[in-house]
A and B are shown apart, each in its own frame.
Chain A
Amino acid sequence: MKIIVCIKQVPDSAAKVVVEGGKVSWGDAPLVINPWDEYAVEAALQQKEALGGTVTAISIGGESAKEAIKHALAMGADDAILISDPALANLDTQAAAQVLAAAIRKAGGVDMAFFGRQAIDGDSGITPSQTARLLGWPALTLSAVIKVDGGNVRVERAIEEGRQIVTAKLPAVFSLVKDFGEPRYPSFMGIRKASRAEIPAWSLGDLGMVAPATVISWPEVMNPPSREVTCEVIGGGSPQEIAEKLADKILAEKIL
């Protein structure tokens, strides 16, 4: 089973992200592998353990994205590819999907392409289905359970109404939710291996393409309006008296 995991580097989820002078800043918070992609790496490693094969991490980004890739290697991915080109700054999702689809094709013989459900910076969650559409592969998004049987796969997808149970043929694109368990910690050996790994870089030329045009632009980024609330602490009295007062306050706001 040849599995590719597409990963993205993002500011840590605990970062205080603000706009300063028109630019997005996350202070001194680290850039890390997108948490959802960490779940995808975990799911990919579980498939490899069950079925045999290899796991390759790929990421679009600059030199710094190698840190996210190394995390995937340290977790147990076999190898990695960095897609790096000066023309690939500020891609929208459809442009990123074009690049990833080209990379998956170039890698050749891929059975499963894994993605996290969304990146915690752009929060779009549509790159997986867009990549599947370009490849002409089934889009098994929001997969919570994956069972491979030969060239067939059966997944449970987490949708609003519960689970949709779907079968399809491989190769397929998957986006993963959290149900595969907490991502494993990199082992000491894994970290050593990752630190020494040579990560090949592919340019757009290597993929046989020119920079895809971006159609979504976001000229303006803003801090959200500040939430001006003063907390009124309800106290003084028994729990029943406090609860009475609180219920009256809430009902007086006429939002129920």
Chain B
Amino acid sequence: MKTWVYVDHFKGQVLPASWEAIGAGKTLGTVTALVFGSGVEALAKTAFTYGADEVFLADDPALADYRSEAYASTLSSLAAEHKPDAILFPTTTRCREMAGMVAMDLKTGVMVDVTALELQGDRIVATRPIYAGKLLTKETCSASPQIATLRGRAFPKPAADTGKSGTPTKVAAKVEALTNVEGYATTEGGVSLIDAGVIVSGGRGVSNNPTLTPPGGLDEKQTEIWRAQQGFALVKDLAAVLGAAVGASRAAVDAGYVPYMHQVGQTGKVVSPDLYIACGISGAIQHLAGMRTSKMIVAINKDAEAPIFKVARYGVVGDLYQIIPALTAAFKSKLGK
């Protein structure tokens, strides 16, 4: 099967799920990697090392910033000319948008956020979670090309083989767009939840330390948030030692403890790390939906009856204000940090 894989990057930094998608594409047939941007020839070279058989490179100053119309049109016109059987994308914000638009251009459909692929004859059967992972479906696309976006960390990342190289095929960019990019504002640094191998999350329970004395002059709500910030500082310390991303429950976000970008769950991010440490999170069904596919879950909670313990491999029933700093110290010494 002639499979194309779009390599998503931000200012030359490739989102790792792109390489995973090349690996997945190789299980279907030959892979042509697509690299779009400005001054991105190095990425095209890297795509060969991850297993691409061929690379199409659209390198144009007008593609310096991702703009959906230009990127989608570049891809659609290439696909109309070369007629691939399948186009795979990593599931990222840019690629959801592009895949959707390209599908409209080519009169086909998208199987979104796929976690497993198999080939039946010339059709891809794609497994994907719906209802935030409460259910799975197996989908097929009756039109051509068959388009899918693949969830990060669902497919193994191929090992880069620096011995492999090739010459990218230069292709023309379509540059018409309906937006202008003024610039970027970074919100908060740290490890991205979606790519994280380890996540440490806090819930309502992190504001629950009666022994702390808040500074004077705060009202009740400010006091609660102040307490939560002390708790989240501990969560962040543990995350730093483990190289982990910081997550939060909806309750913690809604209460104003941390910004929304940290929210894990049905109306937040759906994550699947190797290790998920839930601190002061009771485990509402919406939260479990967002993290239940984590390889190992560890729960720290005062309430032994909390539903989070039903999905946890290890649990500590206790005060997170005592347990988390002790755990941070233990990992610091054991990991030699």
A and B from one assembly?
A: yes
Stretch at the interface among B21-29, B157-165, B201-209, B259-267: B259-267
Say yes or no: A227-B185 contact (C-beta < 8 A), given A24-B135, A94-B109, A160-B92. Answer: no
Distance in Å: Cβ of A116 to nearest Cβ of chain B: 10
- Binary interface profile of A, 57-76, with partner B (CB < 8 Å = 1, else 0)? 00000000000000000000
Give me 28 A-to-B residue pairs in the complex whose CB atoms sit less than 8 angstroms apart, sorted by A's number.
Answer: A14-B285, A17-B135, A18-B134, A92-B109, A93-B109, A94-B103, A124-B113, A126-B97, A126-B110, A129-B96, A139-B69, A160-B92, A166-B179, A168-B180, A216-B110, A216-B139, A216-B142, A218-B137, A219-B140, A220-B138, A224-B292, A231-B312, A232-B315, A239-B319, A239-B322, A239-B323, A243-B323, A255-B274
- Binary interface profile of B, 319-333, with partner A (CB < 8 Å = 1, else 0)? 100110111011100
- In the bound complex, CA of A17 to CA of B293 (Å): 16
Main secondary structure of the interface of B (DSSP, over half): mixed
Would you call B186 an interface residue if the criterion is a C-beta within 8 Å of the partner chain's C-beta atoms? yes
Chain B residues within an 8 Å CB radius of A234: 314-316
Chain A residues within an 8 Å CB radius of B97: 126, 129, 139, 141
- In the bound complex, CA of A142 to CA of B187 (Å): 15
- Binary interface profile of B, 103-114, with partner A (CB < 8 Å = 1, else 0)? 111011111110
| Beta-carbon contact of B138 and A243 below 8 Å | no
Residue of A nearest to B134 (CB): A17
Chain A residues within an 8 Å CB radius of B214: none
- In the bound complex, CA of A125 to CA of B334 (Å): 42
Would you call A130 an interface residue if the criterion is a C-beta within 8 Å of the partner chain's C-beta atoms? yes
- In the bound complex, CA of A243 to CA of B184 (Å): 41
Interface size class of A (residues with CB under 8 A): 35 or more
- In the bound complex, CA of A130 to CA of B100 (Å): 5
Say yes or no: A218-B326 contact (C-beta < 8 A), given A14-B286, A93-B100, A93-B110. Answer: no
- In the bound complex, CA of A234 to CA of B182 (Å): 52
| Beta-carbon contact of A13 and B326 below 8 Å | no
- In the bound complex, CA of A129 to CA of B136 (Å): 24
- In the bound complex, CA of A62 to CA of B335 (Å): 58
Which residues of A, 87-135, contact B by the 8 Å Cβ criterion?
92-94, 97, 120-127, 129-130, 132-134
Out of A120, A160, A235, A256, name the residue touching B194 (CB < 8 Å).
Answer: A160
- In the bound complex, CA of A166 to CA of B184 (Å): 9
How many of chain B's residues have a CB under 8 angstroms from any CB in A? Answer: 95
Out of A138, A172, A221, name the residue touching B136 (CB < 8 Å).
Answer: A221
| Beta-carbon contact of A163 and B184 below 8 Å | yes
Which residues of B, 242-263, contact A by the 8 Å Cβ criterion?
242, 254, 260-261
Distance in Å: Cβ of B284 to nearest Cβ of chain A: 7
Chain A residues within an 8 Å CB radius of B275: 250, 255-256
| Beta-carbon contact of A215 and B141 below 8 Å | yes
Out of B72, B96, B270, B314, name the residue touching A232 (CB < 8 Å).
Answer: B314
Chain A residues within an 8 Å CB radius of B182: 154, 165-167
Total A-B residue contacts, Cβ distance less than 8 Å: 262
Main secondary structure of the interface of A (DSSP, over half): mixed
Would you call B156 an interface residue if the criterion is a C-beta within 8 Å of the partner chain's C-beta atoms? no
Would you call A184 an interface residue if the criterion is a C-beta within 8 Å of the partner chain's C-beta atoms? no
Chain A residues within an 8 Å CB radius of B242: 256
- In the bound complex, CA of A227 to CA of B295 (Å): 10
| Beta-carbon contact of B109 and A137 below 8 Å | no
Distance in Å: Cβ of A106 to nearest Cβ of chain B: 19
| Beta-carbon contact of B93 and A217 below 8 Å | no
Out of B104, B140, B261, B284, name the residue touching A97 (CB < 8 Å).
Answer: B104
- In the bound complex, CA of A169 to CA of B179 (Å): 8
Which residues of B, 279-323, contact A by the 8 Å Cβ criterion?
284-286, 292-293, 295-299, 304, 309-319, 322-323
- In the bound complex, CA of A130 to CA of B109 (Å): 10
Distance in Å: Cβ of A214 to nearest Cβ of chain B: 8
Stretch at the interface among A1-9, A174-182, A186-194, A195-203: A174-182
Would you call A244 an interface residue if the criterion is a C-beta within 8 Å of the partner chain's C-beta atoms? yes
- In the bound complex, CA of A121 to CA of B177 (Å): 31
